[in-house]
Amino acid sequence: MLETLGTANFVLLSIWFVLSLALLTLRTPLKFLLEKLDPNQASTILMLVLAIPVLVSLAVTLLLYYPQIGSFFLVLHCHGPACEEHLPVGHLPQLGPLSLIITATALALVAVKSWQDGRTNLRFGNGIRGLCKTRAGFWEIDEQTPLAFTSGLFKPQIVVSTGLLKQCSKKEVDIILLHEQGHRLNRDNLRILLARLLSLPMPGARYFISELCLCIEKSCDLRSCQHHEPGDVARCILKLAAASKSQSSAIYCAFAKESVEQRVKNLLGPSPLTLPKSVSFSLSCVAAAALCLSVTPLHHYVEWLMLGLTQH
């Protein structure tokens, strides 16, 4: 039982590693595609991309090693007329337990990271709350540095500094609040935390997280454009970016922090492409079908891999 569990875990790690490398090699065409799409859809795609290595490797391993599920997908093959549906043959006495240790260590690291981030966010939110005055739709903190950000994971709140309210016009404040409302409604802090946890051991994770943050900011910029001209939103971003750079304090304005130049180009350039829901549904069906059809070839591959490893 332990050998089978360890071998299945080794298969899971192998599939996960191959998928992670494959996604890393596709980052250039993926970036080109995401730049053309609606930022909200692009951020959803990136979340799925970050989840693919973990979810697909887990699903395929379950299909391969859980007979009640896998028997619906496996076909008779390669072992003669008496062949029946079965688990991939072969065990790895050394690599199996080692893979279990690696997986347990990785899960422990993810759990610790999640607990630390959650505790830090909670402490920060509680500390900010005690320093703020409640206004209509946001909290005002008595700080002369221009600040605007959304704090919290499950019940996020918009925080704006007194300095920003003084330095910005009524229109600019409204643009900033609309932008931050987008973060609050989408619970973007929670989305980014989940993305970081999913991609914690993934090669090139920093690149994908950076692209996700950029797409999220673009999406919130477009929310501001629903009530204001894109040019006004772009000028507001540039103004806050310049004000943040001129401050000697390490405190920054999150509104104008992320990839200012790319966000301005997105606002002033052509409208992004929005995929119809039918296309998204069709792509999901194709992905599910591809996953099911891949089980039998992977079954062959796992048996071949086990045979090669057990003979050496």
Band the pLDDT of 94: cuts 50, 70, 90.
Answer: low
**Are 167 and 243 a contacting pair, CB within 8 Å?**
yes
Residue range 87-98: mean pLDDT, rounded: 57
Q: Which long-range contacts (CB under 8 A, 24 or more apart) does 260-264 make?
A: 262/214, 262/218, 263/214, 263/217, 263/218, 263/221, 263/234, 263/237, 264/234, 264/237, 264/238
What number of helices (H) and strands (E) belong to the chain?
A: 13, 4
Q: Nearest CA to 40 among 296, 272, 219, 178?
A: 219
Neighbouring-strand partners of residue 158 = 150
Query: pLDDT tens digits for 152-177?
Result: 878 888 888 888 888 888 999 999 99
Write down the pLDDT at residue 249: 45
Q: Is 80 left (phi over 0), alpha (psi -120 to 50) or beta?
A: left
30-34, 125-129, 178-182: range with highest mean pLDDT: 178-182
* Pairing status of strand 132-135 against strand 148-151: unpaired
Q: Hey, what are 12's tokens?
A: 């899971």
Question: Whole-number mean pLDDT of the chain?
Answer: 76
> How far lies 212's CA from each of 117, 155, 215, 306, in Å?
18, 21, 5, 38
pLDDT on residue 199: 78
For residue 229, what pLDDT band results from cuts at 50, 70 and 90?
very high
CA 189, 160, 143, 168 dihedral sign is positive
Q: What percent of the chain has pLDDT over 70?
A: 71
Segment 45-52 mean pLDDT:
85
The better pLDDT of the pair 63, 95 is held by: 63
Write down the pLDDT at residue 250. 41
Q: Is residue 178 pLDDT above 90, yes or no?
A: yes
Note the pLDDT tens digit of each residue in 245-300.
655 444 445 565 557 888 888 888 888 878 787 777 787 788 777 767 766 676 67
- Which residue is it, tokens 């799925």? 48
Gap between the Cα atoms of 282 and 113, Å rounded: 36
Lowest mean pLDDT among 92-96, 198-202, 242-246, 307-311: 92-96
pTM higher than the cut 0.85: no
